[in-house]
Structure 1
Amino acid sequence: MSTAIPALDRNFGGGLPSGSLVYIRADVEAMAEVFLYQFTQARKTYYFANERKPKHIYNDIRNLGFDTSHIIFMDLHSEYHLTPGGDAVNNLGDELQDSKIVEYTEYSIKKIMEEQEEDINIVIDSFSFFLNLNINPGLLKRFIYTIYETTKNLNCLTFLYGIKGLNKGGMETEILNSSDVIFDIELKKSGQIINKYLSIPKIRRKHPMNEMIKFKIENGIKMDTSQDIA
C-alpha cells in the first residue's frame, strides 16, 4: 500500500505491506509528524488527534499544500482536555478519566472496523499520550490488541506516532514487538548543520532498510535520493 512518499514506495515495491501496524519512534525536534500528514495523501484516513486540536493539525496539513478532503478527524483532544463548555481541564493522573479516554478511543476504532471499509489509513497522533496515562496495564494491552486486530481485519495501514524520551514504563517495548513496521526518525546536529534521518529496521514480509537515509521537510517529506536506500 502506497505511503505517498515516492522514494519509500519504490524501495518497497509499491509501499508497505497491507494490514501493517506501523510504529513511528521520533525525536521530538525532527518534525516527524509531517510523515503522518503525507501518509494521509494516499487514501482515506481516520486521524485520531489527542495532543492538539484537529483544526490546528488541519491547518498544518493545508499549509504543506496537501489535500484534506479525505481526512476524518477523531477529536480526542477535546474529549480529554476540555469540558463540554470548552474550558480546559486538568485530568493529569486521573485514573478514571484516563481509562475513559482509552475506552472511548477503543470504541471508536471498533466502530471503524464494523464499517468494513477497504483501503484506509488509521493514524493515532500521538500514541505516547496513551503510554503515559495512569491506567491499568491490562487496559492498555487490550487497547493495543484491538488496534492490531482492526488493522489485520481491515487490511489497512495503522500509524502510531511515538515520541522518544516521552514514554514511561515498559509498554513501548510491547508495542514495538507487536508492530509489523518500525520507523525510527532521528535528528543529528554537527556544528551548524542539522540533518534528519529515517531508518526502517523492522518490516514484516519485506526486507528492512540496512542504512539510514537523510530526508528534509520541503512541501512534505523529501528523501535524499543521492544515496542508495539499502
Structure 2
Amino acid sequence: MRDRLPTGVDVLDRKLDGGIPAGSTVALCAEPASQAELLLHELTATRGTLYITLGRTEEAVADSIANSSTRTGEPTIRHVSGDAPIDNAAKLVSALPEASNLIVDPVDVLERESHDRYRNFLNELQNHIHNTQGLAILHCLAGNHLPQGRDTTRHMADVVFDLETRVGSDSIENRLTVPKFRGGRALTDVVKLELADSVAIDTSRDIA
C-alpha cells in the first residue's frame, strides 16, 4: 500500500485509513455557498502547499487563510489569469517540489477550456504529482451550469469527494461521500460534517 498523506481533518483521515495515498489527485466537488474552503485551509497545515487561485486574488485568499479559525499553514499563493490559464497553471505545477500539496481553486476555469488541452493538463498534473508523491486537490464548484470538462475531472481523479450542503428551516447539514477511491477503499457510508470554524463530525442527527 502506498504511503498515506493526511488531509488535516482527523475524523476524515481515520475513516480513510490514515489519509489519501501519496501521488493522488482528488476532486472536491461542493456548492459555491458551502464551507468547503475549510477543508482546503486545513490541508495547508499538513505540508508545503501551492495554492493556485483562478477566481479570487492572491490577497483575498491569503486574508481568508490568515483569518481562518482552523489549523492552517503558510501556502504559496499564485493567481492565474489571462488568456492562457492552462499554460500558466501548468508552469506552476511543473515546479512543484517533492511531497507537496497542490490546490487548484476553482478548477472550473480550466474545465471550460478545450477538451484536449484540459485532458493533457490533467495528465501532466497527475504524472508530476505521482512522481513527486504529493497530493493535488481540484476544487470543483457544483451548481446548475457545470463546465464541459467536469466529467473528465471526475473520471481522471483518483479520489472524488462529494460535499452536499442541505439548508433546512432551522439547520444546515453537510454530507460528505467518497464514491471513488483508487488505491484504497471508497466509503460506503455518508459522513456528516460540521463546517463552522473548523471541520468536525456532526453527531447531532442521524442520516435519514
**How high is the TM-score relative to the length of structure 1?**
0.81
Counterparts of 1:118 and 1:188 in 2: how far apart (Å)? 38
Q: Secondary structure at the match of 1:207?
A: coil
Q: What residue is the counterpart of 2:119 in the other structure?
A: 141
Q: Using a 3 Å threshold, how does the CA distance of structure 1 residues 5 and 53 change in structure 2: closer, same or farther?
A: same
Q: Distance in 1 between matches of 2:204 and 2:7?
A: 20
- How far the C-alpha of 1:137 sits from its partner, in A, is 2.1
Distance in 1 of aligned mates of 2:60 and 2:66: 10
Paired with 2:130 and 2:73, the residues of 1 have a C-alpha distance of 25
Contact 2:44–2:73 (CA under 8 A) maintained in structure 1: no
Q: Is the 8 A contact 1:123 1:159 kept in 2?
A: yes
Aligned residue number for residue 90 of structure 2: 106
Deviates further, 60-69 or 179-188:
60-69
Q: Alignment partner for residue 107 of structure 2, among 111, 116, 127?
A: 127
Tell me which residue corresponds to 2:152. Answer: 174
> Which residues of structure 1 form unaligned runs of 5+?
81-96
Q: Kindly indicate whether the alpha-carbon contact (under 8 Å) linking 1:43 and 1:70 is maintained by their aligned counterparts in 2.
A: no
Tell me, what secondary structure is at the counterpart of 1:104?
helix
| Residue identity matched to 1:168 | P
Number of residue pairs aligned between Structure 1 and Structure 2: 202
Aligned residue for 2:92, secondary structure, equals helix
Taking the aligned partners of 1:179 and 1:207, their CA distance within structure 2 comes to 15
Measure how far apart 1:227 and its partner are.
8.4
* C-alpha displacement of 1:106: 1.0
CA–CA distance in 2 between the matches of 1:69 and 1:7? 19
Q: Does 1:192 align with 2:170?
A: yes
Displacement of 1:225 in angstroms is 5.4
Partner SS for 1:198: strand
Structure 1 stretches of 4+ moved >4 Å: 66-69, 225-228
For residues 201-220 of structure 1, the aligned pairs below 5 Å read 201-220=179-198
Q: Tell me, in whole angstroms, the C-alpha distance in 1 between the residues paired with 2:73 and 2:39.
A: 18
Residue number among 129, 136, 150 corresponding to 1:158 in the alignment: 136
- Which protein has the larger Cα radius of gyration, Structure 1 or Structure 2? 1
CA shift in 2, pair 1:15/1:49, >3 Å: same
Structure 2: runs of 5 or more not aligned: none
Aligned-residue CA RMSD (Å): 2.1
Deviations 1:15-43 (A, max 9, x none): 11111100011112212122111111111
Q: Which residue in the other structure is 2:18 paired with?
A: 14
**SS of corresponding position for 1:61:** helix
Rounded Cα–Cα distance in structure 2 between residues aligned with 1:68 and 1:23: 20
Farther off after superposition, 218-227 or 197-206 = 218-227
TM-score (ref. length: structure 2)? 0.89
**3-state secondary structure, aligned to 1:141:** helix
Q: Which moved more, 1:60-69 or 1:183-192?
A: 60-69
Percent pairwise identity: 22
